[in-house]
Amino acid sequence: MALIVRYPGVVAPASRCGQLVHQADLLATIASVLAVDLPADAGEDSISLLPLLQGESQPVRQHAISCSIRGLPAIRDGHWKLILGPGSGGWSKGGEGSGLQLYDLATDLGEQKNLAAQEPERVAAMTAAYQKIVAEGRSTNGPQQANDIVVRTYPRP
C-alpha cells in the first residue's frame, strides 16, 4: 500500500520507506500517537507504523492479508504477493487457470508473471501463514478469537 504522511517533527520531509504496511495499521498508529491502549479485541490486524515514521528501518509486519472486491483473499510477505484463487481480484474477470497466483512485486508490479509453479516452497509458507492468521482471528499478538465473518478460500464449495 502506498501511504503519504506529513507529520512535522517526526517524519523527515521527502523521506521514503519501503516496508510493508497495511491500511489497517492506521488505527494502531493513531492510538500510539495519542498514547491510547487498544483493547485486545480491537485492531486485531493493526500494527503501529510509528517506528517507521520515526525513521527506524526494521519491518513492523511480515504479512498483510487483503481481500478483493469479489472476496478473493491474498497475502503479502515483503514484496511477494500470493493470491489464493484464480482471476484478477479486481473488477475484471482476469486470468483463468491455476488456483494460486504468486507475484514478485519488486519486479512485476503489474502481476503479469505467475511464479507459483517455480516457487512451491514460498507458496507453501505463505499459504501456511495465511491459514494461521485466519485460524487465530488476528495477525497481531493477542488472544485467539473468532473471525467476524465466515472466511472462505478457493476452491469454494
Name the strands in the sheet holding 73-77, side by side, starting at the edge strand that comes first in the sequence.
63-67, 73-77, 80-83, 101-104
* β-strand partners of 81: 76, 103
d(CA 100, CA 138): 23
Domains, the chain: 1-61 (no CATH), 63-136 (3.30.1120.10)
What is the value of pTM for the model shown?
Answer: 0.84
Tens place of pLDDT per residue across the chain (157 aa): 678 899 999 999 999 898 999 999 999 999 999 999 999 889 999 999 999 999 999 999 999 998 877 778 899 999 999 999 877 655 555 555 568 899 999 999 888 899 999 999 999 999 999 999 999 999 998 889 988 888 877 655 4
d(CA 66, CA 75): 6
